[in-house]
Amino acid sequence: MRRILTLSPRLANQIAAGEVVERPASVVKELVENSLDAKANRIDVEVEQGGVKLMRIRDNGSGIVREDLAMALNRHATSKIHNLDELEAVASLGFRGEALASIASVSRLMLTSKPAEQSEAWQVNTHGQDMNTEILPAAHTDGTTVEVRDLFFNTPARRKFMRTEKTEYNHLEEVVKRQALARFDVGFSLRHNNRTIHSLRPATTQAEQERRVAQLLSPDFMNNALVIDAEAAGLHLTGWVGLPTFSRSMADMQYFFVNGRVVRDKVISHAVKQAYRDVLYHGRQPCFVLYLQLDPGGVDVNVHPTKHEVRFRDQRLVHDFLFRQLHRALAQVRPDADNDPSRAQSSSPQGLRPQATGTMAGEFAGQQRMDMSPPVHGGGYDHSAGATQPASVADQIGFYQALYPAPAGSSPEHPAPGAWDRPAQPLPDADGDMPPLGFAVAQLHGIFILSQSQHGLVVVDMHAAHERITYERMKRQYDQQGLQAQPVLVPQKLSVSEREANVAEEFGHLLVQFGMVIERLGPDTLIVRQTPVYLQQADVEPLVRSVLADFMEHETSDAIVARRDEILSSMACHGSVRANRKLTIPEMNALLRDMERTERSGQCNHGRPTWTQLSLDDLDKLFLRGR
């Protein structure tokens, strides 16, 4: 039987390195975070061979005094926390005191530093063997430079797991991008194999910050993003979220920062996914760069060695706050006459549409405008006009037919002569009189509405647009009537785990709000006595288990609301105007006005775009006008 022995410092550091130092990108992350904690406003990163041969990080921060240089390479040595109170409200990025020691144990490390109050710089070297250090005078300006050479030179097994130079460099560049997005007030530069990749100046104004985001991610992202700035309950959310029609096949353009720290958190991911659920195309991933500020005592960052994960002390509050703010911002996306669509793109990198949709054309605005007034039916563009809205799905099906009866001697399939060349609303000369989506001029193949707007030609998928309008009205009517529930004819017993039973008992009062009454009969037995009316035909057991799983994971659930929305979406789809349904000019204009007032009108219920715009410049290019 082997005796219990204390690990040697070198072996302990190498074990820690297995957690902290995964690849060159991990080293850069830790060292850049140290530079940020040192209040640097300029950080230069230089690497060779993807970081395997050399990583040099230089900053102009506060530096390290000579007496602390050797101590800085010791395990669990840090200047950032000194007691438990500071640990419970960590404000710095690095605090474990393991990074430098772990890096030094698997590389050749040289640290040079000079504080402003010190007359000369000093340098410490270590070679990852016995961890002995040597301090020598050096030439250096105020700040610190850490040079890491030959990563994993003394651990061949770890070096075998390294990927190609290109792969390792891509991971490393991503780390620099994240830190540059986290701290706009800091200038960053990145050089790889003596070639400058990024050179970013500090960004202090909103325009400069947007320019940095566009440079690091994509100009298309900033052209298709909503600005977020919301504050409530001690939480402050800022940043940018991509419009639903600007999406990706992978989650590679999602950045979330908590108190300046890059994190990946299940609660955050669930809230964002839930906010986009109603507007995102199948299988697509949203794009966002978001910053959440809260009291450091309200979040625990000491849950993972790499500090990528956090734990919120009130995760339900955070989840609901994020969901509501993003959901509200996306709901405000609608055509807006005050927005300039000059940022329109002529093509879509996503491949979902041949031309820029309304969202890509910049015609949408994330303003707090909740005007849900009924459609305008008159000769001018007047939001104040009123009409009675349909009260049921049946009314929705023939809504536009009822608004404007077909001319005598005509039918929807065979309009009377002249029915299409008689516009109900004249096209005004004054730009101020033109609504965002303009006025209809024709219908194409019984599918698309062609409209002349102030900026060019607008093409609308009439079924997709009416589907969204119908869907939003049905949801609004449903919410006004409240969630109706009914007792189950034969209460159903369920055998569940003890944990699920505990959750059902703990959150029973919240389940009632969803129209469900679930009682606990025993340690692992539940009985369902009441369910929502609209789910009376649903299989109760999978639904209950799904809801309980959500409460266990996120302390909230949207399974019932999601199922409700699926049902209403299907009803709205069947209750909307179909292809080849001939619309009169007044009907088409009524549909356009409805789109301008309806939340999320840029996408149908399935996430497809509902309209697109060709500006006059785009049309000129198509016909080579002006050349």
CATH 3.50.30.40 corresponds to the domain 217-330: no
H helix or E strand, kind and range, residue 257: strand 254-258
In this model, does residue 596 exceed pLDDT 80? yes
pLDDT of residue 475: 80
Q: Which two tokens stand for residue 491?
A: 């209460």
For residue 175, which amino acid is it? V
Q: What is the mean pLDDT of residues 573-585?
A: 75
Retrieve residue 230's tokens.
């919301």
Residues forming CATH 3.30.1540.20 domain(s) in the chain: 369-627
In the predicted model, is pLDDT for residue 555 greater than 70?
Answer: no
Residues whose CB falls within 8 Å of the CB of residue 552, separated by 6 or more in sequence, listed in order: 499, 500, 503
Structure tokens at 354: 């041949």
pLDDT of residue 405: 42
Query: What gap in Å lies between CA 232 and CA 627, rounded to an integer?
Result: 54
Average pLDDT of the residues in 112-122: 93
Q: Does the pLDDT at position 565 exceed 80?
A: no
Beta-bridge mates of residue 333: none
User: Mean pLDDT lowest for which of 233-242, 386-395, 558-567?
Assistant: 386-395
Contact present, 107 and 14 (Cβ < 8 Å): no
pLDDT of 380 over the 80 cut? no
Q: What is the mean pLDDT of residues 253-276?
A: 90
- Which residues, at least 6 apart from 24, have a Cβ–Cβ distance to it below 8 Å? 47, 50, 51, 52, 55, 151, 168, 171, 172
Please state the separation of Cα 51 from the chain's center in Å: 30
Query: Measuring CA to CA, which residue among 305, 8, 34, 307 is closest to residue 148?
Result: 34
Alpha carbon of 119 to those of 42, 61, 82: distances in Å?
A: 21, 16, 28
- State whether residue 533 is helix, strand or coil: helix
Is residue 399 over pLDDT 80?
no
Please state the rounded mean pLDDT for residues 594-602.
89
More confident residue, 14 or 445: 445
Residue entry with tokens 């734990």: 311
Asked whether the predicted pLDDT for residue 110 surpasses 80, the reply is yes
3 state SS of 190: strand
Between 613 and 401, the more confident residue is 613
Lowest mean pLDDT among 241-245, 427-431, 547-551: 427-431
d(CA 79, CA 95): 8
Name which of 466, 454, 216 is nearest 338 in CA terms: 454
* Options 3.30.390.30, 3.40.50.300, 3.40.50.1970, 3.30.565.10; CATH of 9-190: 3.30.565.10
What's the CA gap between 146 and 117, in Å, rounded? 20
Contact 196, 47 (CB under 8 A): no
Fold that domain 369-627 belongs to in CATH: formyl-coa transferase, domain 3 (3.30.1540)
Instruction: Give SS3 for 292.
Output: strand
Q: Measured between alpha carbons, how far is residue 409 from residues 9, 412, 413 in Å? A: 95, 11, 12
Q: What is the SS3 assignment for 388?
A: coil
Residue 336 is predicted with a pLDDT of 63
Query: Over the stretch 451-492, which tens digit does the pLDDT of each residue have?
Result: 999 889 999 999 889 888 888 887 887 777 666 778 888 888
- Are 264 and 589 in contact by the 8 Å Cβ rule? The answer is no
Range 173-190 average pLDDT: 95
- What would the mean pLDDT of 15-44 be, rounded to a whole number? 87
Instruction: State how beta strands 254-258 and 288-293 pair.
Output: parallel
Q: What percentage of residues in the chain have a pLDDT greater than 70?
A: 76
Q: Position 183: which residue type? A: R
Q: Could you report the per-residue pLDDT of 142-170, keeping only the tens digit for each? A: 999 999 999 988 887 777 788 899 999 99
Predicted local confidence at residue 93, as pLDDT:
80
pLDDT higher than threshold 90 for residue 582 = no
Q: Binning pLDDT at 50, 70 and 90, where does residue 199 land?
A: very high
The per-residue pLDDT for 178 is 94
Residues of the chain with CATH 3.30.230.10: 217-330
SS3 at position 230: strand
**Cα gap 358→351, rounded to integer Å:** 15
What is the C-alpha to C-alpha distance for residues 505 and 129, in angstroms, rounded to an integer?
57
What are the pLDDT digits (tens) for 212-221? 999 999 999 9
User: What does residue 9 show for φ and ψ, rounded to 5 degrees?
Assistant: -55, -40
pLDDT at position 546: 80
The vertex-479 CA angle with 473 and 483, nearest 5°, equals 135
> Rounded CA gap, 63 and 112, in Å?
9
CATH 3.30.565.10 location in the chain: 9-190
Distance of CA 482 to the CA centre of its chain: 30
Distance CA 481, CA 391 (A): 12
Strands of 304-381 (E only): list them. 311-312
**Residue 320, C-beta contacts closer than 8 angstroms, at least 6 positions apart:** 271, 556
What average pLDDT is seen over the chain?
A: 78
pLDDT value of residue 537: 65
How wide is the angle at C-alpha 186 spanned by C-alphas 185 and 188, nearest 5°?
145
Which candidate, 367, 370, 364, 352, places its Cα nearest to that of 242? 364
CB 444 within 8 A of CB 430: no
Q: Write out pLDDT tens, residues 57-97.
A: 999 999 999 988 888 888 777 777 777 777 776 777 866 66
Round to whole Å and give the CA distance between 224 and 366. 11
pLDDT of residue 574: 65
Mean pLDDT of 514-520: 84
